Structure 1
Amino acid sequence: MTSMRRHQAQNGYPRGEETKAKIIRTSIALFGEEGFAGVSTREIANAAGVPPPSIQYYFGNKEGLYDACLEDIQASASAAVSPALEKVEELLAADATADRLIDGYCNVLESLADFLLGAPDAASRALFVAQLRAASSPPRKSEAKRAVGRRIQEGCAAVVSHISGHNLTDEEARMVCTMVNGQLFIIHVARGHVGELIGWDEITPARIESLKTVLRKQTTVILNSHRPK
């Protein structure tokens, strides 16, 4: 096996990272369309334009490939949202005013909107995430894969709690930020149906900017409603 892999690395896989990225992009799209059980590694390899043994070489098996897709989505999400989250964490540590915290919260949601809706493969990722919760999808192998989502939830809940003067319980703060963030996630996960309701035939950059404007206004109203009277 070692000699075969050495031979493949020298002759069959001259651009390893490029090939891996191509396989992952193709897999996210196909897993999203068909589910984990609905597509074979051979079909993925054919769609990606690589030899079928490439899957085993780079990922070990189908489960390893699926896991790599999850890691890729989480890494991309972290890169997109981390700057805004870090700013919110700094504001919380500095005991910033409610207005600055609300602005920081809105910046997190806007960064998330760009990632969830604006990237070329955003639709494929949305379908993948929807399939992730289906019975045919394998379970997540690591709690680390939820690190980005947990960090967003914890940061947003902390902002809500701070704005309320810490008059909300932890559970109430989590409920508020879950419903606030749900404004965006419903469009991400059910983008086709929501598009019909809004009247969008496609999600364009201009429409994302309009969405972010509305998202900021509504989020500001909701968070201000939890300030101490």
Structure 2
Amino acid sequence: MTETKRPRRSTEGGYARGEETRLRIIHAAIELFGEHGFVAASTRDIAARAGVNAPALQYYFENKEGVYRACAEHLADDVWTKFEPVVLRSAATLESTDNVAALIEAFVDIQNVMIDKALGTPSAPTLKLFFVREQGGQEPSIATEIFQERVRGPLNRVATQLIAKIGGTAPDDPLTIIRLVTLHGQFMLFHTAPRSLLTLLKWPSLDAEKIEFVKQTIFTNTRTLLSTWACERDAGR
């Protein structure tokens, strides 16, 4: 797949209109890729939903692979704006201190942002389906590669480094990675299977008050586990 083709415009006004058209196509494509998957979503349908003619799609993106790449880049850039500040804060903590309590709070800070993004930010069902299909491995690998490079990789690196420093393991140790998955797994089902959990909890919905309750419960669990792993590290010295 080639890099996404960018529009060339001779005037500022024309460029602005071109970017608006380009974003309309991207948003329409995210919806259709979510609804039908990459193979079934046609460029003709994407263009129709975006309200443009088919040649316009080719002009901006060359082909369907280019549209899909642009969708992944757009989503990665959007998500990274939420995560970049906490990644930078956590990296600074790693460099500046060995204090276990500070390191634990840096990890909780990461979880706080992740939970807010997963549970507190409304998103269209088709957007969730886009990620579900991408994670299922049936879509072109370029989206996973982009998300890994721009979002998941930086976020997971700093998170595993925190756990490793707290627990006295290596960042690439399978134990460290499993610990990361375990800690984040506390809230992932609220994002991926909310209906089942709401039924189990007998909650009609997940409002702001309940999200805060979930967050504080998870933070307590996380602090307890990380403190336990730090004690195990000290006991093994």
| TM superposition shift of 1:134 | 3.9
Gaps of 5+ in 2: 1-6
Matching residue within 189, 192, 203 for 1:189:
192
Q: Cα RMSD (Å) of the superposition?
A: 3.0
| TM superposition shift of 1:213 | 2.1
Segment of structure 1 superposing worse, 52-61 or 160-169: 160-169
| TM superposition shift of 1:111 | 1.1
Aligned twin of 1:140: 142
Aligned twin of 2:4: none
- 5 Å-filtered alignment, 1:148-159, equals 148-159=151-162
| TM superposition shift of 1:129 | 1.2
The 1:45/1:168 distance shift into structure 2, 3 A limit, reads closer
Aligned twin of 1:164: 167
The 1:142/1:212 distance shift into structure 2, 3 A limit, reads closer
Aligned twin of 2:56: 54
Asked whether 1:103 is paired with 2:101, we answer: no
Distance, in Å, in 2 between the alignment partners of 1:166 and 1:134 is: 30
Segment of structure 1 superposing worse, 104-113 or 144-153: 144-153
- 5 Å-filtered alignment, 1:69-218, equals 69-121=71-123, 123-134=125-136, 136-140=138-142, 143-147=145-149, 148-166=151-169, 170-199=173-202, 202-218=205-221
How many residues of Structure 1 are paired with residues of Structure 2 in the alignment?
224
The 1:74/1:34 distance shift into structure 2, 3 A limit, reads same
Secondary structure at 1:154 match in 2: helix
1:182-226 deviation line (CA, Å, top 9, x unaligned): 223333333444444444555444443333222222221221221
Q: Is the 8 A contact 2:76 2:147 kept in 1?
A: yes
Distance, in Å, in 1 between the alignment partners of 2:117 and 2:83 is: 8
The 1:167/1:45 distance shift into structure 2, 3 A limit, reads closer
Secondary structure at 1:35 match in 2: helix
Letter in 2 for 1:188: H
1:20-66 deviation line (CA, Å, top 9, x unaligned): 22222222222122111122122122222233333212111111111
Aligned twin of 1:219: 222
1:85-104 deviation line (CA, Å, top 9, x unaligned): 11111111112411111111
Letter in 2 for 1:32: G
Give the TM-score normalised by structure 2: 0.80
Give the TM-score normalised by structure 1: 0.82
Aligned twin of 2:18: 16
| TM superposition shift of 1:84 | 0.8
Distance, in Å, in 2 between the alignment partners of 1:19 and 1:203 is: 35
| TM superposition shift of 1:130 | 1.0
The 1:129/1:6 distance shift into structure 2, 3 A limit, reads closer
1:146-198 deviation line (CA, Å, top 9, x unaligned): 12211121111111111113489722111101221122333333344444444
Segment of structure 1 superposing worse, 127-136 or 93-102: 127-136
The 1:191/1:93 distance shift into structure 2, 3 A limit, reads same
Letter in 2 for 1:23: I
The 1:117/1:24 distance shift into structure 2, 3 A limit, reads farther
Identity of aligned residues (%): 29
Q: Is the 8 A contact 1:160 1:177 kept in 2?
A: yes
Q: Is the 8 A contact 1:84 1:111 kept in 2?
A: yes
Secondary structure at 1:137 match in 2: coil
Segment of structure 1 superposing worse, 74-83 or 116-125: 116-125
